[in-house]
Amino acid sequence: MKKRPLILFFIVTILMNVTANLAHPVTPTIIKNLNLNDYMFGAAFASMMFSNFLFSPFWGKRNEYSNSRSTMAICSVGYSIGQLLFAIAKTEQHILGARVFSGVFAGGIFISFLTYLVHVSKEEERGRNLAILAALSSVSSSFGYFIGGMLGEISIMLVFVVQASLLLLCAILFLLVCREDRAIKTKKVSYIQMIKNSNPFAAFLEAKRFINKRFVILFSVCALAYLGNTAFEQCFNYYIKDVFGLTSGYNGTIKAAIGIAALVANATICIWIMRRTNAKKSIIYILLICTVAIFGVSLTTKETSFIGISVFFFAMNAITIPITQDLVSVEAAPSESSIVMGFYNGIKSLGGIFGALAAGMLYTIQPTLPIVFAGIAFFAATIFALVFLWNKPIEAK
C-alpha cells in the first residue's frame, strides 16, 4: 500500500477534474431548452455551493476518523448519483435539489485531495505536491469544459452518462491507487457525532481569536473579488448562450482558452509579482485592471470583443487568487494560520454563493447588470486593497 507511487494519484485527480467539469458547458442549454427562468443559472450554482459549504467540514472530520481514499470513493459515487438526478430533472425544484445533492459530495472529493497529499507527502515535498495538484487541476478542468462542450454538441444526455460513468470509475481508481493515509488511529465515532463536530460556521466563530482591523480590510478585498468573479463567471456562461446563441461546443472551447490563459498568467506574471514586487501594491493594479476589463465587457455588444476582453479578465483574475492567499497567510501568526485559512476558505464559499445568486437575479432584470455588479465589486475590492496598503501593520507586543 505504502509503495503505490503518487503519480497514479495525480493521474486520477486529472481524470476527476476533467469529469467534474463536463456538465458545466451544457447547463445553459438545459435551462434554455426547458424554458426555465433566467435566474436558474445562478440559483443552481449557488445551491451546489451552499451544500458544498455546509458539508465540507463533515468530510474533513471523516478524514480524521477514517481515511481520505474511502472518502474520495464514497463522494465520487454520491456525485455520480447527483449528476444523474440533474440529467433527468425537468423542473426548477428538481434541478435545485439535484445540485444540492451533488454539492454535498463534490466538496468531499476536493477536500480529500488536499488531506491525502498532506498525509502522504514528506514535509519537504508537501508544498511542491500541493502546487502540482493546483496546476493539474487548472489545466484538467479546462479540458473538462472543452470535452463536455464537444459531447454536448452530440447529446446533452450523453454528457451526463459519460460523467456518471467516469465518476464511478474514479471511485474504483481511488481505492486501487491511493494509500492508507490515516496517520493516527482514532476511536470510532458515529456519523451523528461527526456531524455535531462539523459546524461549517466554526471558522467564523473562531475569528475572534485573530481578527483585527487589517484582517477586516484584507478579507473585504478577498470577499469582494470572489463575489465579483463568481457573478461575472456565472453570467458569462449563460450570456454567450442566451444573447449570442453560442452552442456548448463554443462554451467549452472558450473555457479551455481561458484555462490556458490563466495558467500562463500564473506561471509568468503572478510568479514575477510575488518574487520581484511588493504584493500589497501589485494587487491594487491587478484589481484595477480587472475592474476596467469588466466594465469594458459591459459596454461592448460585439461577440468577438466580448469574448476577447472576458478571456483577458479571467487571466488577470487568476493572478489575484494566489496573491491574496499569500497576503492572508503572511498576515497570520504561525500559531493561528490554520484558523485564518479556514476563515479565508469560508469567505470564498460565501462569496461564491452570493455572487451566483446576485448574478441570476440581476440577469432577469437586464442581462448586463450582473457584469456591472461584478465591476462594482472589483472596484470596491481595489479601494479596500489601497486602504490595506496604507494601513500600518500592528506591532507585536
Which has the higher per-residue pLDDT, 188 or 309?
309
Host H or E run for residue 54: helix 40-65
Averaged pLDDT score across all residues of the chain: 87
Task: Give the integer Cα–Cα distance in Å for 134 and 170.
Answer: 19
**Beta-carbon neighbour count of residue 334 at 10 Å?**
7
Please report the pLDDT score of residue 381 as a whole number.
96
The whole-number average pLDDT for the span 246-273 is 87
pLDDT tens by residue, 110-158: 888 877 887 787 777 776 787 778 778 878 888 899 999 999 999 999 9
Please report the pLDDT score of residue 193 as a whole number.
66
Contacts of 39 (CB under 8 A, 6+ apart): 360, 361, 363, 364
pTM of the model: 0.84
Enter the DSSP assignment of 201.
T
Percent of the chain with pLDDT over 70: 90
Lowest-confidence pick of 98-107, 187-196, 380-389: 187-196
Q: Dig out the grid coordinates for 291 from the structure.
A: 475592474
Host H or E run for residue 57: helix 40-65
8 A C-beta contact, residue 219 and residue 346: no
pLDDT tens by residue, 49-64: 899 888 887 887 787 7
Nearest to 194 by CA among 347, 370, 65, 108: 65
Question: Does pLDDT of 395 surpass 60?
Answer: no
pLDDT tens by residue, 158-180: 999 999 999 999 999 999 998 87
Question: Does pLDDT of 396 surpass 50?
Answer: no
